[in-house]
Structure 1
Amino acid sequence: MTDTVMDEVRGAQETAVAGDRAGARVILERLWASTGDALHRCTIAHYLADLQDSVEDELHWDTLALSAFPGLTDERARSYDASWQARAFLPSLHLNLADVHRRAGHPDEARQHLAAAEAAVDVLPTDDYGTMIRAALTSVREALATGSTAPLTPPSG
């Protein structure tokens, strides 16, 4: 099934990778305003968070991404990609919130989201994506343990 919104999200990501972060934000914000679909909203907010210039704005969009998750079903996720399951979104959503709370100086909230991400890590695939998320969890855990609020390189999932 073709999903034109997800196609536009992918195009916005390509725009961002090409260096036009502001242009990508415009596309994603337009898509956000035009859809109530949980898959779209989780995905759009997740990517919009990565395009923000402030930790506060990033936190806002990461929070919106997680708040859209309860409406996402396995059936909806699989209608886009047969290999997807809704719960597999949780490690990345919580990872991003753990990292942004850490950078914002909210260690308690960061630890809560890190624990939630780690509790859901069993659903991650054993592919490059799963490896990336697991490595990012380790990096956030280590940065949190040292009290660092510095951005991680590369950015979390």
Structure 2
Amino acid sequence: MTRIGQVAMLLHAGDREEARNRFAALWEELGEHGDPLHRCTVAHFMADTQDDPEAELDWDLRALYAADHAALAARGFFPSLHLNLAADYWKVGENRMARSCLGRAREAAAVLGDDAYADGVRAAIGRMELRLDAPDQLP
């Protein structure tokens, strides 16, 4: 997780290409049978490095799949994972799927505590709902 965090810092500093390359290397290193929580985290960040909305959607789906296999360890990720999928589907024009994922995000947010992270996720869910309700708003 330390190495994942270091690459995430690159991403947040704006070096998307280098972060994408390093996350790809970590993904390969983890392999198909790597720790599901680590795979979830790498895929979740890898989605944020993508320029193509379809590729972003693919990585977010990988993150959700890995989280499903991480059991309770990833429970707190589900609201964000479903929210990211809602945004991905909205970007590719799949509003029905976006609404479905947004509903799952809202349901999953019930497990979140009362802290800054939870507040941020809940606010982002609200913003995504506004986007979906504004038919003239483009991705």
Task: Give your verdict on TM over 0.5.
Answer: yes
For Structure 1 versus Structure 2, the TM-score category normalised by the shorter chain is over 0.9
Secondary structure at the aligned position of 1:52 is classed as: coil
* Per-residue deviation, 1:24: 0.7
Distance 1:19 1:46 in 2: 16
1:107-155 deviation per Cα after TM superposition (whole angstroms, max 9, x unaligned): 01001100111111111121110000000000000100113332xxxxx
Structure 1 segments unaligned to the other structure (5+ residues):
1-5, 78-85, 151-157
Query: How many residues in Structure 1 have an aligned counterpart in Structure 2?
Result: 135
CA RMSD of aligned residues (A): 1.1
1:21 matched residue in structure 2: 16
Could you list the runs of 5+ residues in structure 2 that have no partner in the other structure?
A: none
- How much does 1:33 deviate? 1.1
Task: Tell me by how many angstroms 1:14 deviates.
Answer: 1.3
- For 1:20-41, what per-residue CA distance to the aligned partner results, in whole angstroms no more than 9, with x for missing partners? 2111111111111111211011
Runs of 4+ in 1 over 6 A off after TM superposition: none
After TM superposition, the score normalised by the length of structure 1 is: 0.82
Provide the TM-score with structure 2 as the length reference: 0.92
More helix by share: 2
User: Helix, strand or coil: the match of 2:93?
Assistant: coil
**8 A Cα contact 1:43 1:65, kept in partner:** yes
Partner of 2:60: 62
Residue of structure 2 in register with 1:104 after alignment: 92
Q: Equivalent residues in 2 for 1:45-84 (5 A)?
A: 45-74=43-72, 77=73
Identity %: 41
Q: Does 1:149 align with 2:138?
A: yes
